[in-house]
């Protein structure tokens, strides 16, 4: 009986030791990230033939993310500054592309992240305002999609958790649902990394004076995230997002009933010398 008790205790301790804690670092630090995205959108013709129209845009930004302050509850305030921008779009003129690059380079954002990774508030610097009716890119949206939600308790390999948070970067609230699963924990280059599979889903429903834009169903994304457990930072993340949209062009009083969207996002931390 005593042997069984000891064996049970040993088993419980062994189980506990398989669990890992995923938490953001609390040491003030700056990290450099490269973010790359590509967006393909197809307007499928009613016949579904080769007359479908297509848009392709690519964006690559080098950014510096600085942890400004860590609060007692584990939340922290960050500042995101863009160091360089490369942008291209087949639906914008050369001058507009140049403007967009210049405009993005001037953007700096501050935001607060809770200890589990949920982004609370985005504070655009310099009282930046999205200009209604002007189609400028919204960078915070990209980072919201890639930001992980970390489990509130220790987890073992194979365990899943989920989280949801609001994206209000466009001025309208969208709830983004995310699911995660711890796939592996391993060492690389002196760092302990946790490999997470990530699922994202949300509905798109936006409207202004010119356009009403809604998703037919959930936009769905799948990806992989490497979390640096040593420093408590995102090491890399990739995500592919797909879905169908219906767009009402209110200015021309027409409907685009079938837009297929595919967005690929990759972000990787750059190791400092």
Binding site for another protein (CB under 8 A): 39, 41, 43, 45, 53, 55, 57, 89, 91-92, 95, 99, 102-103, 106, 126-129, 131-138, 141, 170, 204, 206, 208-211, 213, 241, 245, 247, 249-254, 256, 259, 261, 263
For residue 130, the minimal CB distance to another protein (Å) is 9
**Shorter beta-carbon distance to another protein: residue 253 or 272:** 253
Minimum gap (Å) between residue 225 Cβ and another protein: 19
Q: State the minimum distance, in angstroms, from the CB of residue 98 to another protein.
A: 9
In the complex with another protein, the residue whose CB is nearer, 71 or 173, is 173
CB-wise, 99 or 177, nearer to another protein? Answer: 99
What is the per-residue burial (b if ≥16 Cβ within 10 Å, else e) of 47-80? eeeeeeeeeebebebebebebeebeeeebbbbbb
Identity of the residue, 17 or 84, whose beta carbon is nearer to another protein in the bound complex: 84
Min dist CB 171 to another protein, Å, is 12
Cβ pair 249, 216 in contact under 8 A: no
Q: How far is the CB of 254 from another protein (least distance, A)?
A: 8
Among residues 127 and 273, whose Cβ is nearest to another protein? 127
Which of 90, 107, 108 is CA-nearest to residue 38? 90
Residue 105: CB minimum distance to another protein, A: 9
Residue placing its CB nearer to another protein in the complex, 26 or 170: 170
CA atoms within 13 A on the CB side of 92: 18
């Amino acid at each position: 009986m005593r042997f069984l008790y000891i064996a049970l205790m040993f088993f419980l301790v062994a189980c506990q030791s398989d669990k890992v804690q995923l938490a953001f670092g609390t040491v003030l630090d700056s990290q450099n990230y490269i973010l790359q995205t590509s967006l393909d959108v197809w307007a499928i013709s009613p016949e579904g033939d080769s007359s479908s129209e297509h848009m392709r845009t690519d964006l690559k930004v080098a950014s510096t993310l600085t942890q400004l302050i860590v609060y007692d509850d584990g939340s922290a305030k960050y500042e995101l500054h863009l160091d360089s921008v490369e942008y291209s779009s087949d639906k914008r003129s050369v001058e507009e592309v140049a403007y967009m690059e210049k405009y993005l380079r001037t953007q700096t954002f501050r935001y607060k992240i809770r200890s589990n990774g949920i982004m609370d508030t985005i504070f655009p610097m310099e009282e930046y305002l999205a200009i209604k009716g002007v189609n400028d890119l919204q960078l915070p949206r990209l980072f919201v999609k890639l930001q992980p939600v970390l489990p509130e308790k220790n987890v073992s390999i194979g365990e899943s958790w989920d989280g949801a948070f609001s994206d209000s970067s466009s001025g309208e609230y969208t709830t983004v649902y995310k699911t995660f699963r711890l796939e592996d924990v391993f060492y690389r280059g002196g760092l302990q990394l946790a490999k997470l599979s990530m699922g994202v889903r949300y509905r798109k429903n936006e409207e202004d004076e010119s356009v009403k834009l809604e998703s037919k169903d959930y936009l769905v994304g799948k990806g992989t995230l490497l979390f640096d457990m040593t420093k408590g930072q995102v090491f890399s993340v990739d995500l592919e997002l797909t879905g169908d949209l219906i767009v009402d062009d209110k200015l021309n009083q027409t409907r685009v009933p079938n837009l297929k969207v595919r967005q690929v996002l990759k972000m990787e931390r750059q190791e400092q010398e």
